[in-house]
Copies of this chain bind each other. A is one copy, B any other.
Amino acid sequence: MKIGLDILGGDYAPNATILGAIEAQQLLTGDQKLVLFGDEEETKSLIEKAGGNPSDFEYIHAPENISMGEHPTKAITQKPNSSIAKGFELLKNGEIDSFASAGNTGAMLVGSIFSVKTVPGVLRPAITTIVPKLKSGFGLLLDVGANADCKPEMLNQFAILGSLYSQHMFGISSPKVGLLNIGEEEEKGNILTTTTYPLLKNNERINFIGNAEGRDLFSDIADVYVCDGFTGNVVLKLAESFYVVTLKKGLKDEFFDRFNYEQYGGSPVLGVNAPVIIGHGISTPQAIKNMVLQSRDMIQSDFIDKIRSAFN
């Protein structure tokens, strides 16, 4: 198993990514190999400085970096030696089994779609985020930004993608799916949600529980919340800002702690032909470590095969 990791991506790269890689490597077994994308010599020297053993890792020399502000499509094509472009090149060729980066989100998305491509039958992949539940455990919210405008059939597919992730990665046998909406009743909502509702209701492959409102996101009423990428992205960033407020104000609480994305890694791009994980820009070593372990779990559970079978 070869787990690809971008050493150059993220606000605190390469130091945070190097430390995260070293921490992750200690938790991997013999056949699980971390493949690091970045400047090979610099990476090796930083690993050594940080007390790691450079020979524990494999390297792909990719000295160029796609920065946060760059245009995704342009950057991917104009920087073939960038860590993200190289990562997707190897992922496409099957030389690595997954690719994770805390770098440019758009480049990660474009890279996924143009290299490993969308799973046949899937209209559009979705970026999926993990949301903590007030009582315990985690729910999923998708899409959080891959598709600013959505069609009902896309949301119906997000429900399937999210359910599969919840089943195979969280072990929830029949994940409850809620449609993020502005009212409890079936007829409530905008054009998108009112036309999506009957699709979800008649979808026998999911356990649809009806509409969920903004206030329900951290409740137990659903395990998977589906919405268009515009709404999901606004919601995600608002929720993150609350977490930041509690941190700034020194309000300690177990629930707020579980908002800490560092604990679970990154946001998987669901619906493409390989495990791809996008990390938070401000990923710490812990977040990077967990993104690697999340990649490993997705490979180990043959998660992509589950998606392919579902859309076959």
**A contacts, CB < 8 Å to B:** 134, 145, 148-149, 180, 182, 189-191, 193, 213-218, 227-231, 233-242, 244-246, 249, 251, 253, 255
Contacts and interface: CB of A to CB of B under 8 A. Distances in A.
Given A230-B231, A238-B217, A182 B148 contact: yes
B215 A237 contact: yes
B189 A214 contact: no
Contacts of A149: 190-191
Contact of A230 (B182, B218, B233, B242): B182
Given A149-B191, A189-B148, A213 B237 contact: yes
Nearest to A189: B148
A253 B251 contact: yes
Contacts of A190: 148-149, 228-230
A163 to B, nearest CB: 21
Contacts of A228: 190
Given A189-B230, A253-B251, A235 B235 contact: yes
B213 A234 contact: yes
Contact of A215 (B191, B215, B241): B241
Given A148-B189, A182-B233, A191-B149, A238 B214 contact: yes
20 contacts: A134-B245, A148-B182, A148-B189, A148-B191, A182-B237, A190-B228, A190-B229, A213-B234, A213-B237, A214-B234, A214-B236, A214-B238, A215-B238, A215-B241, A217-B238, A230-B231, A234-B235, A235-B238, A238-B239, A251-B253
Nearest to A149: B190
